[in-house]
Structure 1
């Protein structure tokens, strides 16, 4: 569930109201702290355990606030999506390099197919040595 949060400015503080959560309000002196406070309020209202995955939020600026803020939020969301995609590709690359090495492909072939350097493949394989050994052991 994505939480919609109304954000306004009062003096030097940012104020936030989480829509759909009765009495869920918070404030902070900067956006970084506001994000953390919003997550804390959501977790407290929902009685979530400490360390729970942060809730997805969508900020809505009120009171005719600058369109630049809305644009900055969009760029931030795009950055978050790109980082998530990069993380998924890195994880897939780790697993693929290990599987290909276990199947007997050379570091140079793996590097060429995954479009990374042979040195990077060697690093990936060093992290997966137990998996490669176990796979080769089953193939014998």
Structure 2
């Protein structure tokens, strides 16, 4: 599934949204609020590609260089973005880690402690993996 990178730049009271490489084209839209950006640019990209809006992923990257905020605030935002990305990576890798640690003989509680999740979450991950492997 394609992921399109969208730059969101504050322009007056609006966010200007630009996806710069959608089949070699630039697709633009705007939204009043940042929480509306996904729907606005998704609709524009879907129209250009003539596909459903769920046929692709979006990575919306707010650009605050033209907003009057301190370097500390920009750093805090970047750290939070990095934390979110690390969290996504950890979630993707957790099922394999659970399987490997359990195969190595560790208890559900030990695995939970190591991964920073609850024992019930470890059991849930194991059940989901079993269902996928049984299908």
TM-score normalised by structure 1 residue count: 0.56
1:14 aligns with 2:7: no
1:40 aligns with 2:57: no
1:104–1:61 CA distance, 2 compared to 1 (3 A): closer
* 8 Å CA contact 1:14, 1:30 repeated in 2: yes
Q: Give the strand-richer structure, 1 or 2.
A: 2
How far apart are residue 80 of structure 1 and its match?
Answer: 4.1
For 2:14, what is the secondary structure of its paired residue? strand
Q: How does 1:1-140 map to 2 (within 5 A)?
A: 2-9=5-12, 13-14=13-14, 16=16, 18=18, 21=25, 24-45=27-48, 47=49, 49-50=51-52, 51-60=54-63, 66-68=67-69, 71=73, 75=77, 78-130=79-131
Partner deviation per Cα, 1:82-101 (whole Å, 9 max, x = no partner): 22321321332222222333
Alpha-carbon distance in structure 2 between the residues aligned to 1:106 and 1:94: 15
Structure 1: gaps (5+ residues): 135-140
Structure 2: gaps (5+ residues): none
Aligned residue pairs, count: 125
Alpha-carbon distance in structure 2 between the residues aligned to 1:28 and 1:16: 7
TM-score normalised by structure 2 residue count: 0.57
Alpha-carbon distance in structure 1 between the residues aligned to 2:115 and 2:15: 46
> What is the root-mean-square deviation of aligned Cα atoms in Å?
4.0
